[in-house]
Amino acid sequence: MDIKKILSEQINIEGISQEEIYNLITGTANPSLGDFSLPCFRFAKALRKSPVQIANDLKDAFGGCPVVSDVQAVNGYLNFFVDNKVMSATVLDEARQDSFGKSDVGNGKTICIDYSSINIAKPFHIGHLGTTAIGGSLYKLYKNLGYNVIGINHLGDWGTQFGKLIVAYDLWGDKEKIEQGGVEALQEIYVKFHQEEVDHPELTEQARAWFAKIEQGDARALELFHWFKDITLKEVNKIYKRLNVTFDSYNGESFYNDKMQPVLDELESKGLVKLSDGAKIVDLEEFGMAPCLLVKADGATLYATRDLAAAFYRKNTYDFYKSLYVVAYQQNLHFKQFFKVLELMGHEWAKDCIHVAYGMVSLAEGSMSTRKGNVVWLSKVLDAAVEKAKSIIEEKNPDLADKDEVAEKIGVGAVMFSALQNGRIKDITFSLDKVLTFEGETCPYLQYTYARTNSVLIKAGNAINAKVAPDYASLDNAESKELIKLINRYPDIIVDAAEKYEPSILAKYLIDLAQAYNKFYFEHRILDEEVSRQLPRLYATDATNKIIKNGLSLLGIDVPAHM
């Protein structure tokens, strides 16, 4: 229920658009001044009247509508008092429908989201948590708004490291061991390669030769290359499943091997390519940036060349409305350069390519050991979180049924939420203890509140369907009003989070909602009330229940029914 819209539609000011009026109306902080307010200062010039006079005139002209119980003009402000009963009834009725928060604004538009984009045969480490969680959530938010969304895992599956891996495998690899050990086992021989390379420079040569064989399509080279890829994907897919993340395309860097030449030709024909020490570059000095490197002197293409080809491929294949890249801010320059090149090529859609940057995740001292160098494997963080969740359950609620399933939801949810609750650009320090507390701004707190609403609803049983006229006067108090106000904001929150590429807006909102519900829960009886007064409180509980569940699912997080 868009109250601002209802209010703005009641007001006519000559020469001022309905939209402008809508945008000027704000919620008030002081309830004695009403619930919403329209400042009239902006209209003074156009109407050649004082704001005080304008507010008075608008008050006199106000025709009245069911949601508004009173209108007052005070010092150039037009203040609206919303009828609490009408508001509560309408909001709760809307919020309890399955369609609440969904929209079709995106119908007919396609959004590409490049996210997670892990590297083959390299650890899926905690640094990839941000892109996976944020991208996964944007995917769900846009779908929820009716967009056609294409999730793309732009795999890092090209580069000389694959030549090194083959050499390392031939020297020290054991097929069975690697099949069992997965990426970690591949990592081990890769690290060994780098150590040995120092004293044996011929290894570097061999690696180069093997990489050339992959490029030329040598059967054995390709077989190993695909094997490394399969091992990695099998492993990451297990993680994606736990994180509720899905992709529509796994076209990674190697997919663009045969798609770069047309782009290079176009760049040449548009006079954008310069030679620099034998390398092909696009000079970006004029724009205060280092050049964009296209082809090295030895003929090798680069990350940027592949991204250029991928951008064309996505435009041609999906005809996107927007193409998002959820990638760490360390790559800011890369995206600026490559978007600039698209722009210089004269492609109007360059402006629709957006780098959705996010900050770094580091581990709080002592919260997890990082014995294997500096790599913190995401799967291990998840396991540790689940284990800790399990021990908390054992301590607090040892009789709980399906403990393992609940622990998985709490543990994984806590890790996901920690990557989503802060503004994207913020660097975060991850601590297991912090994300797994049940008090404060955490996922377990949300899940706990959800379980609380569930148990209220279960205890109420069929009472929520009582065929009795609800008495909304039972919501005439500060805690209920605050809760209703928040419930009412949910659809706008989803739009805002999607438009700003900020799932944190939704995450923060859910915390606010849970806090408001808990205040309401502690201050007001829900169950042992007279039926007509109990009903609105049950409706509010039901709406909160649905929003927390649905909102968390848009963040990729599951809720246990009880905990």
Smallest gap from residue 158 Cβ to ligand ARG (A): 10
Helix, strand, coil in percent for the chain, rounding step 5 = 60, 10, 30
Part of the chain binding ligand ARG (CB under 6 A), chosen from 85-93, 111-119, 313-321, 403-411: 111-119
For every residue of 384-410, DSSP letters joined together read HHHHHHHHHHHHH-TT-TTHHHHHHHH
Helix (H) or strand (E) holding 230: helix 219-242
Smallest gap from residue 318 Cβ to ligand ARG (A): 14
CA angle 188, 193, 194 (to 5 degrees): 100
Q: If binding is defined by CB under 6 A, does position 130 make contact with ligand ARG?
A: no
CA distance 486 to 18: 25
Q: If binding is defined by CB under 6 A, does position 114 make contact with ligand ARG?
A: yes
In the list 36, 240, 256, 325, the residue contacting ligand ARG (rule: CB under 6 A) is 325
Site size toward ligand ARG (CB under 6 A) is: 9
Smallest gap from residue 323 Cβ to ligand ARG (A): 10
Complex with ligand ARG: residue 106 or 123, whichever CB lies closer? 123
Complex with ligand ARG: residue 4 or 125, whichever CB lies closer? 125
Sheet holding 26-27: strands in order across?
A: 26-27, 36-39, 77-82, 68-74
Closest CA to 517 of 551, 548, 562, 550: 548
Contact 235, 182 (CB under 8 A): yes
CA distance 447 to 86: 30
Q: If binding is defined by CB under 6 A, does position 251 make contact with ligand ARG?
A: no
Smallest gap from residue 117 Cβ to ligand ARG (A): 4
Sketch the per residue contact string, 264 through 303, with ligand ARG: x for CB under 6 A, - otherwise. Answer: ----------------------------------------
Q: Strands, DSSP E only, in 130-201?
A: 148-152
Part of the chain binding ligand ARG (CB under 6 A), chosen from 114-122, 396-404, 446-454, 462-470: 114-122
* Contact partners, residue 17, CB within 8 Å, separation at least 6: none
Q: If binding is defined by CB under 6 A, does position 117 make contact with ligand ARG?
A: yes
Closest CA to 226 of 309, 165, 152, 314: 165
Smallest gap from residue 337 Cβ to ligand ARG (A): 12
Contact 293, 302 (CB under 8 A): yes
Sketch the per residue contact string, 153 through 172, with ligand ARG: x for CB under 6 A, - otherwise. Answer: -x-x----------------
Complex with ligand ARG: residue 3 or 302, whichever CB lies closer? 302
The 3-class secondary structure across 261-287, one letter per residue, is: HHHHHHHHHCCCEEEECCEEEECCHHH
Q: Which of residues 299-318 bind ligand ARG (CB under 6 A)?
A: 307, 310
Smallest gap from residue 119 Cβ to ligand ARG (A): 5
Part of the chain binding ligand ARG (CB under 6 A), chosen from 113-121, 206-214, 461-469, 477-485: 113-121
Q: If binding is defined by CB under 6 A, does position 119 make contact with ligand ARG?
A: yes
Q: If binding is defined by CB under 6 A, does position 151 make contact with ligand ARG?
A: no
* Contact partners, residue 189, CB within 8 Å, separation at least 6: 165, 168, 169, 171, 172, 173, 178
Residues lying near ligand ARG in the complex (CB under 6 A): 114, 117, 119, 154, 156, 307, 310, 325, 327
